[in-house]
Amino acid sequence: MTKRLKVGIIGLGSMGSTHLDIYSKINEAEVVAVADSIQSRLDGSSKAEGNISGQAEGGVTGLSVKKYLDGMDLIKNSDIDIVDICVGTDLHFMFVEAALASGKHVLVEKPLARNYSEAKKIIQLAENSHCYVMSAMCLRYWPAWVYLKEAITSNNYGKCLSLNFKRQTSFPGGAFYSDHHQCGGALLDLHVHDTDFVNYCLGMPDAVFSQGYKGPSGGIDHIVTNYIYSKSDSSTLVSSEGSWTMQEGYGFNMSYTANFENGTLSYLLDEHETLKLFRSGIDTESIKLKDGMGYEFEIRTFIDEILTGKNTNFELLRQAADTIAIIEAEKTSIETCSVVSIKV
């Protein structure tokens, strides 16, 4: 009989609640403990909300799990196999370090760490551990983005000429998002999704040119970036825009447009999700996507790889760390109004 992995979740905000719900659908894992510094989240009297329909539906009410106000106490629980870290970005390194020191497998929400220095330390800790470590970069597993990566790598529609990503919402509010020292502003907390996917698909850009402005976090909350690949004249043109400065009531949307030699893919998720393929002389095609969100597929991958005895995928983990180096270059580009080369 396959071992059922025991999971402890630290942080019951929108992502912790989302993960809690997903584990309930996975036979090979069960949540046995949760931790949050806010008592009302532990007793179920308050609950976070997510950006997307179907997100953050999980709750602790009615669950028979151990509850802790301090995540460090959860890590000390010897019954736990996996620590799922869904706390504020500024606390990621602290909990990853403690969990690995206790011999626990680690799933850590995006971004991997608050800065590149901490991200590199996490890589070193993972390399010296026998535990599996994964950065939860959900777009790598989101069906529409999986389809896009396959289209790029397979050349099914010819060479990819240009990519444009967009991710916009109203300010999420709350103490964490109001302090860019903790969250990194929309630059690190929101826009990081698309920067990571660019890195995942095309590799590290040679340089970036970014523009942006500060918002309610006190940090950079609206960003437009051009990712520069200068290795050849035929490099794909890549840009992205991220913001949480939209007016209240705007909602959330994410999209991409990918233009190939023989087709154009257009994706939009707002109240509905659509992916369309446009080809000259052919009727527009609506692409049928696999049901589900990237959160579920990333967690299932994480569980499966632990159970099959695989080692940490260091290529993907290093990419998650390198993404933060790109983000820091974007910040410098905005501050200096210049093209910034990326060195890691």
Asked whether the beta carbons of 252 and 270 are under 8 A apart, the reply is yes
Structure tokens at 216: 């309610």
Residues in the chain: 344
Give the model's pLDDT for residue 344.
85
Q: List CB contacts of 253: < 8 A, sequence separation 6 or more.
A: 166, 167, 168, 169, 268, 269, 270
Half-sphere exposure of 216 (CA within 13 A, CB side): 16
Residue the block writes with tokens 């996975």: 26
- Regions of the chain short of the pLDDT cut 50: none
Give the model's pLDDT for residue 340.
98
Q: List CB contacts of 322: < 8 A, sequence separation 6 or more.
A: 199, 204, 344
Give the model's pLDDT for residue 235.
84
Give the model's pLDDT for residue 232.
62
Query: In the chain, what are the domains?
Result: 5-136 (3.40.50.720), 140-295+325-341 (3.30.360.10)
Asked whether the beta carbons of 35 and 98 are under 8 A apart, the reply is no
Give the model's pLDDT for residue 273.
94
* Measured distance CA(223)–CA(225) in Å, rounded: 6
Give the model's pLDDT for residue 271.
86
Give the model's pLDDT for residue 303.
97
Rounded (5°) CA angle 325-223-116: 15
